[in-house]
Amino acid sequence: MINRFFFILCIIIFSQCAENVKQNEKTTNCENSRFYGKIEVCLPEIDGMRECMTHPKLKGRPGILVSEQNTTLGIYINDSSINQLEASQTPENIGLNGYFKVYGIGKIEGMQIGQSEFDAFVEAFKNQFVHNEWNIVKMDISMLSLEKEMNNLRTKTGKPSIPISNSFDKQVEISNYKPNERIVTSVLVSLSSTDENKALVCTMSIVKILDTIIFYSYYQTYKDENTIEEVKNQNDKFGMELLKINN
């Protein structure tokens, strides 16, 4: 399936290499934008969050700003995390929770993408993740919490910890849906990169705007079952705002 994805990607690349991307006029009410190739992507304002890709305390942070394959266009952080970053002398140790990342794939940057290419891209992207039913993943998350508590007790009594096992060592897709005809979203669960005893819920949305394709993702630590709907709602609201301001 991965080979099929890259095959479709190559078709898009070579079919567009002779075309020039049209320069889109900047949206009149856009106060914050970034270029992706020749296309100016307007970044919306989101209540309770701030776009802060250029914030000095985020500079060079691996996994958030730095990527060899992607072009980061925007980072939205909630007010609470921003306050922690700005107050900290070691901001690289502050774990971010509830943040958006807007980005593009470097290999198609600057290429004009029509609806047919977008549909082919989305089709090729299907089944790129291991899919599992939410009820099964939810049980694994519960076991993760239980095993964590058991290890805490073992540590207090001087016994060695037991390795924690689960079915989502890598990202597991629990849902795939279309909040809009121009957006396709996967909801993913994985272990937190900063705390292997916690689960992370994130989205990966593909969106067609301004004759190109960009991505946005939302990341939030799993707290309880309501986290899934909270993540989806936040993600969908962001997508609608992104489309609206770049219409």
Q: How far apart are CA 100 and CA 106, in angstroms?
A: 19
> How do residues 53-87 score in pLDDT, each as one tens digit?
888 888 767 666 666 678 899 999 999 888 888 88
β-bridge partners, 219? 99, 202
Supply the range of the domain harboring residue 10: 2-129+175-245
Q: Are residues 30 and 118 in the same domain?
A: yes
Same domain, 78 and 192: yes
How many domains does the chain contain in total?
2
pLDDT in tens, 194-204: 666 678 999 99
Domain end (from 167, 185, 217): 167
Q: What is 169-220 written as a DSSP string?
A: SS-EEEEEEEEETTEEEEEEEEE-SS-TTSEEEEEEEEEEETTEEEEEEEEE
150 and 88 both lie in a single domain: no
Asked if 190 and 227 sit in the same domain, the reply is yes
**For 1, which DSSP code?**
-
Same domain, 16 and 89: yes
- Same domain, yes or no: 76 and 196: yes
DSSP state of 66: B
Contact between 37 and 21 (Cβ < 8 Å): yes
Task: Based on the fold, state whether residues 118 and 144 are members of the same structural domain.
Answer: no
Q: Specify the length of the chain in residues.
A: 247
Q: Are residues 226 and 192 in the same domain?
A: yes
125-145: per-residue pLDDT in tens? 887 888 889 888 888 887 776
- What's the whole-model pTM score? 0.79
